[in-house]
């Protein structure tokens, strides 16, 4: 079951591996949902699984660009354009839902997940130290006296995606009762519940 991250060897391996594992968990919350279910908001929150996937795709794409190009300054006005290649029209905060079916949203999220491996390769090829300080992005929600490095970005991304995977878990359970272990088993073609569980 892919519920657990695989074994890791180095700090960089751990940071990229856990980020990818959390992204996989978030993606699995959309498994076998209809478009209506994926857009639904069955809790008191305005969040939906489709909205969370769109938001997470943009967050991943933007932050990983900073990991791949740690010297680059990204101004707030660039945020809509750095996500142009994703296929999302507009900015998504988790409550906004793209005018796409869930299969299209999942493909977009998978594009962003693929950027994790490209960022891992860029760090390795360029010999980027995880402690490399990057320019603070020009946006109003980041503290002005903050020092940010590549390590911080990868940790931040993992916690951000994990938070949204938790949101999506609750939404999915509210839709049809499916839980994360079950979705992992289904994705792996394993029976649910496992035969050894009595």
With cut-offs at 50, 70 and 90, classify the pLDDT of residue 136. confident
Bridge partner residues of 75 (DSSP): 138
Q: Please state the separation of Cα 102 from the chain's center in Å.
A: 16
Instruction: Quote the crossing angle between the two packed helices 49-68 and 102-126, to the nearest 10°.
Output: 20
Q: Render pLDDT for 138-158 as a digit per residue (tens, 0 to 9).
A: 777 778 788 899 999 999 999
**Percent of the chain scored above 90 by pLDDT?**
72
pLDDT at site 143: 80
Regarding predicted confidence, which is higher, 56 or 144?
56
What average pLDDT score do residues 44-49 get? Answer: 96
What average pLDDT score do residues 111-140 get? Answer: 93
Angstrom distance (rounded) from CA 116 to CA 112: 7
pLDDT at site 198: 65
Provide the sign of the torsion angle of the four alpha carbons 51, 54, 56, 59, taken in this order.
Answer: negative
Angstrom distance (rounded) from CA 12 to CA 177: 36
Contact 68, 153 (CB under 8 A): no
User: Which of the residue ranges 27-31, 86-90, 165-169 would you say has the lowest mean pLDDT?
Assistant: 86-90
- pTM metric for this prediction: 0.93
pLDDT at site 91: 79
Structural domains in the chain plus CATH codes: 11-188 (1.20.120.450)
CB atoms within 10 A of CB 40: 17
* Cis status, amide bond into 193, omega within 30 of 0: yes
With cut-offs at 50, 70 and 90, classify the pLDDT of residue 75. confident
pLDDT at site 20: 97
């Amino acid at each position: 079951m892919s519920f657990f991250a695989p074994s890791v060897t180095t700090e960089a391996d751990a940071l990229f591996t856990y980020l990818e594992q959390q992204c996989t968990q978030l993606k699995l919350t959309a498994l076998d949902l209809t478009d209506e279910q994926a857009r639904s908001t069955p809790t008191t929150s305005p969040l939906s699984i489709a909205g969370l996937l769109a938001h997470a795709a943009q967050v991943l794409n933007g932050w990983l660009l900073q990991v791949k190009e740690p010297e680059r300054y990204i101004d707030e006005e660039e945020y809509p354009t750095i996500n142009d290649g994703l296929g999302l029209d507009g900015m998504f905060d988790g409550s906004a839902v793209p005018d796409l079916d869930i299969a299209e949203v999942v493909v977009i999220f998978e594009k962003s997940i693929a950027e994790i491996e490209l960022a891992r390769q860029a760090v390795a090829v360029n010999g980027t130290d995880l402690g490399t300080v990057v320019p603070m992005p020009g946006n109003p929600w980041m503290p002005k006296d903050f020092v940010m490095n590549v390590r911080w970005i990868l940790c931040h991304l993992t916690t951000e995606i994990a938070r949204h995977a938790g949101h999506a878990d609750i939404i999915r359970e509210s839709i049809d009762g499916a839980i994360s272990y079950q979705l992992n088993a289904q994705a792996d073609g394993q029976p649910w519940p496992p035969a050894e569980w009595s």
